[in-house]
Structure 1
Amino acid sequence: MSADADRDGAADFVARLAAASSQEQFLRVMSRDDALARFWAAVPHARLPSETVSLDDALGRVLARDVASPMDVPPFDRSLVDGFALRATDTEGAGPASPRRLTLNREILACGVAPTVVVQPGTATPIATGGVIPRGADAVVMVEHTEFDARSLTVDVLTAVRPAQFVGYAGADMARGETVLRAGTRITAREIGMLAACGLAAVDVTGRPRVAILSTGDELVAPGEPLPEGAIYDSNGAIIAAAVTENGGEPVRLGIVRDEASVLEAALRSALRDSDLVVLSGGTSKGAGDVSHRVLSRLGEPGILFHGVALKPGKPLCVAVAQGKPVIVLPGFPTSAMFTFHDFVVPYVRALAGLPPREDETIAAQVSQRVPSELGRTEFVMTSLAHGREGTIALPLPKGSGSVTAFSQADGFFAVPAARAGVEAGEGVAVVRLGAGVRAPDLTIVGSHCIGLDRVVGLLGERGYRARTIWVGSAGGLAALRRGECDVAAMHLFDPVTALAAAPPPTP
């Protein structure tokens, strides 16, 4: 390469750096509470209009209005046991030593058979569980409490029964006109069964919010495609889509959009036409390739509500409203993206879907070590739980906002308020559970990663033991063991001949 070419290349690089440094990174960093208030004020957090769906498509949806049973369930008086339908007065005084003999009517009431014979005094009709109680009968005697004579077609009743014994009356489960399900109920298999029992083949549900999902960045590659040098797979798109589904929305995956303003603008305009909400990940921080916030200002009023929130992780969050619909630009790092998504987007999606606010389950724990934090920013700290000498302890995870595995390996997180400069060792915190991770594991292993140890942990899981592994290096494992934060410290020993570790050190 010539000297002139070198100079031209250097000049271009300097020009791009200058453009990046002059780019307005944050319009104004505001507090989390102020940002949430501005978002809620800008767009109505109200449920979508209703739609009618079949029972086959109703699972997971939210009832738009109360459901009243159009019929009695069961629709007729029925037997609760196998036995004989009869008049209770005909069994008075019956006992093993003094049975009451009744003549059998010439019909058997199996399920689905309509009675044709009236039970007269001194008679009984054989009936199966669920069979229709015939006219004239007011009770059922269990077959175990009778002796049947096939030759004379009579039955001896060996115990007295009372009126209504073993009779399930019409409407005992659901009465006609009774409200059996309330608006706002999320439909599970149980509700499907109730609706089917009422004879309803369709039901009115709240519309499912369509959430358009775009991932931005020249470095992104779709999973399954070859990975060029310097590229990474797009994990945010898949995570966000799954979280949308979990919270009652319908994800619309629009793939990866390159860092070109015209391409991104076209993608956003198309997404706004066909969705209720648009979520982007990436393109919010300062950098030559970040164009999202510039494009947002051209989509319509009111435009950008805020760009920059006093959160850690999640400071670069950008929220705009265009054409009456929110456009949320999440940070690109996975942990930052998911924290801001759950904090800002999930409440909106759930409101549109007619779902109540998410109920976070918490567990009290003591922080194992001091956690410093930046004043003025609410910080969320991913943590693992372990059994300590004096109760449950929270082990802050060392992985940062760029970690894809932080959410899957953490049992939960706790917040450091913006007014605090950190949390002291031994201080009590409320850990918000993630998934099923509220229970501390049976075994906590901290230290240096080993593939063989991974296999051992897998074998323990097959035997019903839940183990938590936190890879922080040998020294970190020994320190955790000394503080009583783990059951096992994993270490790598050095070979005495080569002075090298016997296995590769853990990935930082």
Structure 2
Amino acid sequence: GTHLSPRETGVLAAVGAAHVDVVRRPKIAVISTGNEIVAPGDPISIGDVFDSNQRILLDSVVELGCEPRACGIVPDDETQLGVLLETLLSGEDAVDVILLSGGTSKGEGDVNARVVERLANQYPESPGVVVHGVALKPGKPVLLSVVAGVPIIVLPGFPTSAIFTFHEFVAPLLRRLSGQRAEATRSIDAVAPMRINSVPGRTEYSLVDLVGGPSGLAAYPLGAGSGSVTAFGRADGFIRIPANTEYVAEDSHLSVKLIDADVRPADLIAIGSHCIGFDHVLGLLAAQGFRVKSIPVGSTAGMTALARGEGDVAGLHLLDEASGTYNEPFLPDGVRLVRGYGRRQGIAFRDGDALFDGVTLDGMVDVLRDSDRRMINRNSGSGTRILIDRLLVACGQ
């Protein structure tokens, strides 16, 4: 089909066409489900999350030329959800497609799949649940079904999972229903500046930031989980890693699918160790109107990026174990060190943990010597990890 912009309608008027046949805008219902979901602006309690999925899906539906219908938030109540879905399947409130988010994982607390299956039994000619779970990361638990001729699609509750599965399974359907052309490919070539690990057996989408360098664009993985809607909001695009791939090797050529049509270059790119103090400085620049991009990859990867000519500044706190000197030994050629500030490093533990109750520094060392204890540590190559590992080794001597 052809989208009727002012250009097309002007031509139609100029040739005397008073009426033309058009495709009706499909009606798409959007429902968020879950006891923990709270509407933006409402009071929130511990364990609750604001409903970002409904806003994302409603706006995505509009972008695809369809008519959205916001159906609010439904708790984990099979009866309440079933009544709402029945009103959307027939009668004056009927819609063409129903989108739900949340409640796709298999478990006693997730009701959407059970409600869809029960409704399908009420309409004998309905295929019911066609797919429940796909080899996709993020987005594995998506549910695809048809009841009474109406597609009912249950997207995962985690925002990034919902976004990817919407674009993978829902967007092509809505384009077809609304008579739009298939999406034009908005991709750009880049290289992997580091090894990007994946999980074999599932196609994986990985969000990336694009950084310019002497040899072109580099795609830095954000490493965000399926619940990180903020990462999706700041990413330039994403790469698709095939299901049979264990990792993407450094310097591999990549095709990055852009989230926006154009890549907007940043005025300042900071790559390196993440620190809230450094974030504050970058925020001051952003407040003055500069477009600032911060990519937290750790101190070692930050120095590698600067050596490659990617980025303008990097946070750094690396200890050279041989000399006991901080930072200077790691500077690439042409990179100057600007002294920043000191930070206090430490080990956190649960309040009330009997292992640490009333222990002195010497007692803390004894606890850390115990090989049966498990500690959550920073990634290898980060400044904090190098320091903590050195201190732990010293404690064991």
> What is the TM-score of this pair, normalised by structure 1?
0.58
What residue in structure 2 maps to residue 236 of structure 1?
A: 53
The offset of 1:440, in angstroms, is 4.7
Could you report, residue by residue, the CA deviation over 1:266-307 in whole angstroms, capped at 9, with x for unpaired residues?
A: 122122221100111110113432111111111122111011
The offset of 1:353, in angstroms, is 0.3
Task: Give RMSD over aligned pairs.
Answer: 2.4
Size of the aligned set, in residue pairs, is 314
What residue in structure 2 maps to residue 269 of structure 1?
A: 86
Mapped contact 1:412–1:438 kept (Cα < 8 A): no
Q: 1:474 to 1:427 in 2, by over 3 A?
A: closer
1:335 to 142, 146, 160: 160
Q: After TM superposition, what 4+ stretches of structure 1 lie above 6 angstroms from structure 2?
A: none
What secondary structure sits across from 2:108 in the alignment? Answer: coil
The offset of 1:406, in angstroms, is 2.2
What residue in structure 1 maps to residue 114 of structure 2?
A: 294
Bigger CA radius of gyration:
1
CA distance, structure 2, for counterparts of residue 186 and residue 282 of structure 1: 33
CA distance, structure 2, for counterparts of residue 401 and residue 476 of structure 1: 24
Q: 1:263 to 1:318 in 2, by over 3 A?
A: same
What residue in structure 1 maps to residue 38 of structure 2?
A: 221
Q: Which has the bigger relative contact order, CA under 8 A and spacing at least 6?
A: 1
1:210 to 24, 27, 30: 27
Mapped contact 1:216–1:259 kept (Cα < 8 A): yes
CA distance, structure 1, for counterparts of residue 84 and residue 128 of structure 2: 17
Could you report, residue by residue, the CA deviation over 1:43-98 in whole angstroms, capped at 9, with x for unpaired residues?
A: xxxxxxxxxxxxxxxxxxxxxxxxxxxxxxxxxxxxxxxxxxxxxxxxxxxxxxxx
What secondary structure sits across from 2:314 in the alignment? Answer: strand
CA distance, structure 1, for counterparts of residue 253 and residue 58 of structure 2: 34
Mapped contact 1:412–1:437 kept (Cα < 8 A): no
1:499 to 337, 344, 360: 344
CA distance, structure 1, for counterparts of residue 3 and residue 305 of structure 2: 44
What residue in structure 1 maps to residue 181 of structure 2?
A: 356
Give the number of the structure whose residues are more often helix, by fraction.
2
1:368 to 193, 201, 210: 193
Could you tell me the percent identity over the aligned residues?
A: 46
Aligned pairs for 1:284-433 (under 5 A) are 284-300=104-120, 301-433=126-258
CA distance, structure 2, for counterparts of residue 255 and residue 472 of structure 1: 38
CA distance, structure 1, for counterparts of residue 242 and residue 95 of structure 2: 35
Consecutive unaligned residues of structure 2, counting only runs of 5 or more, are 121-125, 318-338, 347-378, 380-397
1:459 maps to 2:288: yes
CA distance, structure 1, for counterparts of residue 20 and residue 42 of structure 2: 42
The offset of 1:499, in angstroms, is 3.5
The offset of 1:485, in angstroms, is 3.7
1:278 maps to 2:98: yes
Could you report, residue by residue, the CA deviation over 1:418-464 in whole angstroms, capped at 9, with x for unpaired residues?
A: 12112101100100111134355453222434233123034343xxx
1:257 maps to 2:74: yes
CA distance, structure 2, for counterparts of residue 435 and residue 313 of structure 1: 20
Could you report, residue by residue, the CA deviation over 1:305-325 in whole angstroms, capped at 9, with x for unpaired residues?
A: 011100011101111110011
Q: 1:365 to 1:440 in 2, by over 3 A?
A: farther
The offset of 1:474, in angstroms, is 5.7
Q: 1:325 to 1:490 in 2, by over 3 A?
A: same
1:443 maps to 2:268: yes
Mapped contact 2:206–2:223 kept (Cα < 8 A): no
> What is the TM-score of this pair, normalised by structure 2?
0.73
The offset of 1:467, in angstroms, is 3.6
The offset of 1:491, in angstroms, is 5.6
Could you report, residue by residue, the CA deviation over 1:340-394 in whole angstroms, capped at 9, with x for unpaired residues?
A: 0001000000100000111121111101111111112111111111112321111
CA distance, structure 2, for counterparts of residue 474 and residue 223 of structure 1: 37
CA distance, structure 2, for counterparts of residue 442 and residue 372 of structure 1: 30
What secondary structure sits across from 1:297 in the alignment? Answer: helix
Q: 1:456 to 1:374 in 2, by over 3 A?
A: same
CA distance, structure 2, for counterparts of residue 420 and residue 277 of structure 1: 34
Q: 1:200 to 1:467 in 2, by over 3 A?
A: farther
Q: 1:191 to 1:230 in 2, by over 3 A?
A: same
CA distance, structure 2, for counterparts of residue 414 and residue 344 of structure 1: 17
